[in-house]
Amino acid sequence: MAQHEGHVRREGATCLRRLPTTLAVITSTFPEEERGRAIGVWTGVAGGGGILGMFLSALLVGTADWRRLFVLPVVLVAVALAMTLKSVPNSRERSTRSFDTIGALVSTVAVIGLIFALQEGPERGWTAPVTLISLAVGVAAAITFVAWELHRRDALLLDVRLFRERGLASGSITLLVVFGVQAGIAVVLFPFFQAVLGWPGLLSTAAMMPMAVVMMTASGLAPKMAAGIGARSTMTVGVALAALGLVLMALFVSVDGGYPSILAGMLAMGIGMGLSMTPSTQAITSSLPRAKQGVASALNDVTREFGTALGVAVLGAILANGYRSAIDGKLEGVPDGAADTAREGIANAIEVAPTTGSHSRDLVRAAQQSFVDGWQQAMWIGAAVMAALLLYVVLRGPKNTAPLQPEAEAAPEAGVAESVAAR
């Protein structure tokens, strides 16, 4: 039940997610001297807004009828529509190029295949036919997509040649990893709050707010920091702090330590993500001329969403696998049916514990400790990934936060679904 409630809140939070055109509007309308600060605000809202959405959704569910949850998006849309009509300038990009239907279909197959393999591998087994077939299809489709985009000269969905640009490549990779780890952390935190600490949904989401607050604050400060020490140095500090946060949570998390055992790690993660996301986003937008800001915005958004899907799949699978491995040796004396249920997850273990008689308390404790063991494995893997990203940023990060290129300058053609970006 706890895991189900967390899933519902994450789904409800999608009402606060941004569209690709929002960043394009910011980069195209704000003057150059204010653009960095505007991108910082946008990044902070994009990163912390998801957590805020979870809190608002849990607040509605906890204090009113659950049907009110569906009223919130309607209200937000109405407010956003009014603000858009008042503040956003009208513009349209006319293009004679047709939409890259084949590229869109092949890329969709690639993403679905890879995500399915990562998500189901730990459940079904990495050598299971369905896992291997899904992985093979995903890899083959990804290679086909790259070959197709390199072959075509017009109507491109994504010109992969753009990634030769240092700023665009490093910014995209940083956002992919950072948002992946952030999403994976959310998957880990909610079961910890609800199943291990026994907190209700509203309190669990409130416990995430300190990380959201420091993330949004750091995002706003990142442009000034980048102007002073450079984009690459700012990204380096941010990624290093995020990695430190994962290490702190891996080292100190415990069943008895409760919330204080992870708070320092959460705060370090939030500050690190805020400092790394803003210069990464600006590195992407600065790599393309003003006429291609829709392309930059769409690429930025696709990178974030794909990273989120990967993070949930990978870190969630590591946690689940670590939990099962840990609890297998702690089920001695527990009836077979209850033991099988307990292996499915901590929420299942807590739910079935009352049916095991004298083993009830021991089963709950074993499930909680096994979850913490799986948590530590996920955190260490996340820290290793962030360490690899840190090395990449140090070696290949953007050199500076150069302003957008003038429209007259040459720039790589095409981008991420120009028909989407022109909306």
Please give the DSSP secondary-structure letter assigned to residue 195: I
Whole-number pLDDT of residue 103: 86
> What pLDDT shows up at residue 36?
72
The mean pLDDT value of the chain amounts to: 80
pLDDT confidence of 10, banded at 50, 70, 90?
very low
Pinpoint the alpha helices (H) of 88-128: 101-124
Name residue, tokens 């300058």: 409
> For 327-375, how does the pLDDT look when each residue is reduced to its tens digit (9 = 90+)?
988 888 888 888 889 988 898 899 999 988 888 888 999 999 999 999 9
98-123 pLDDT per residue, tens:
778 888 899 889 989 988 887 787 67
What mean pLDDT do residues 278-293 have? 80
- The residue written with tokens 């099988």 in the block is 340
Q: Is the pLDDT of residue 73 over 50?
A: yes
pLDDT band at 276 (very low <50, low <70, confident <90, very high): very high
Q: How far apart are the first and last CA of the chain?
A: 40
pLDDT at 423 exceeding the cut of 70: no
CA dihedral 393, 395, 396, 401 (to 10 degrees): 70
User: Residue 308 above 50 pLDDT?
Assistant: yes
User: Counting every residue, how long is the chain?
Assistant: 423
> Which amino acid is it at 32?
E
Tens digits of residue pLDDT in 318-337: 898 899 999 988 888 888 88
Q: Is the pLDDT of residue 84 over 70?
A: yes
Q: Which has more confidence, 299 or 257?
A: 257
Cα separation, 189 vs 414, in Å, equals 40
In the 8-state DSSP scheme, what is residue 146?
A: H
pLDDT at 400: 57
Alpha-carbon span 309 to 19, nearest angstrom: 17
Confidence band for 11, pLDDT divided at 50, 70 and 90: very low
Residue 407 clears pLDDT 90, i.e. is over it: no
Residue-level pLDDT at 267: 96
Contacts of 13 (CB under 8 A, 6+ apart): 49, 50, 51, 52, 53, 54, 57
pLDDT tier at 402, thresholds 50, 70, 90: very low
Q: pLDDT tens across 178-203, in order?
A: 988 988 888 788 889 988 998 987 88
Q: 95: pLDDT confidence band, cut at 50, 70 and 90?
A: low
The CA distances from residue 144 to 102, 138, 270, 369, in Å, are 10, 10, 37, 45
What would the pLDDT profile of 213-224 be if each residue is shown by its tens digit? 898 889 888 888
SS3 content of the chain, % helix, strand, coil (to 5): 80, 0, 20
d(Cα 50, Cα 17) in Å, to the nearest integer?
A: 7
* CA distance readout (Å), 21 to 164, 293, 417: 24, 9, 12
Whole-number Cα distances in Å, 12 to 1, 21, 182, 208: 16, 22, 17, 16
Amino acid at 97: R
Structure confidence by residue, pLDDT tens digits, 49-58: 767 777 777 7
User: 137 pLDDT exceeds 80?
Assistant: yes
- For residue 286, what is the enclosing H or E element? helix 260-286
* pLDDT band with cut points at 50, 70 and 90 for residue 166: confident
Q: What is the mean pLDDT of residues 139-149?
A: 93
Cβ partners under 8 Å of residue 247, min gap 6 = 265, 379, 383
The confidence band for 252, taking pLDDT boundaries of 50, 70 and 90, is very high
412: confidence class by pLDDT, cuts 50, 70, 90: very low
